[in-house]
Amino acid sequence: MRFLQWRTGEKLPVLGAGTWNMGENGARADDEVEVLKLALDLGVTLIDTAEMYGAGGAEKIVGRAAAGGRDEVFIVSKVYPHNATFDGTMAACERSLQRLATGHIDLYLLHWRGSSPLADTVEAFERLKEQGKIRHWGVSNFDTDDMEELLALPAGRNCAANQVLYNLNQRGIEWQLLPECRKRDVPIMAYSPLAQGPLARHRALAPIARKHRVAPATIALAWTIRGPGVIAIPKTSDRDRMRENAAAADLILDRDDLAALDRAFPPPSRKHPLALN
């Protein structure tokens, strides 16, 4: 596994596991727990979840996968915007901790911006940190203007990550958000790095995948984490795919690969509003 040096002094794996769509079907729960345990064995020790996923069911799957080795797992969860008042955030975190069967969440994110004042959410995050219920907090789906507003708040600079859509099809953040987050040492967590699946079948990836003797998905993920300050969090409920995805951490794409990918998926030439899907 490759790591990025977080400004907190910790090292974070550049690949994590997503859990959207997990915890929705009791008949699949045992398999989902096993796939996440495989991820941990492969060094994919960061797991991304949210109170939203499976209406709390995904957090229960994560809790089961992390049981017995909690200190080796970095758990990311998220509060719904409609819960993100001060009191609502405190209560939502408590419920997440119960479902995760843990005493703390490593990184707690505001899932997207809603109508609650940011200052109230940040105040709750800071209180939860003081109480030891979360270790760090961050945001998700924040574009440059949202980040400016956040960083202007008294504790805003404690924001430890911004989770946004980033993949070969959606490179808009490279224009402004990504460089600004890098400058401020706020890692980007790239969600939907396989564009929810289709990128793993994209024909432009096939020749590069053949050259490196890996799956096309491995190429898409290695591309996502090619530069500093980016963590990709692909989701799979399949063991073989989990291995393909984990392999991306060991693959460095060369100049020819990157040029071919730039031709097939051109970088942005202007600012685009942050993509959400």
Binding site for ligand NAP (CB under 6 A): 18-20, 48, 111, 140-141, 163, 191-197, 200, 215, 217, 233-238, 241, 244-245
Q: Which of 85, 141 has the CB closer to ligand NAP?
A: 141
Shortest separation between residue 187's beta carbon and ligand NAP, angstroms: 14
Q: Which of 96, 163 has the CB closer to ligand NAP?
A: 163
Catalytic: which of 53, 108, 166, 191?
53
Shortest separation between residue 277's beta carbon and ligand NAP, angstroms: 8
Q: Which of 47, 124 has the CB closer to ligand NAP?
A: 47
Shortest separation between residue 136's beta carbon and ligand NAP, angstroms: 16
β partners of residue 170: 167
Shortest separation between residue 247's beta carbon and ligand NAP, angstroms: 9
53 belongs to the catalytic site: yes
Residue nearest to ligand NAP (CB): 18
Q: Which of 97, 164 has the CB closer to ligand NAP?
A: 164
Which residues are the active-site residues?
53
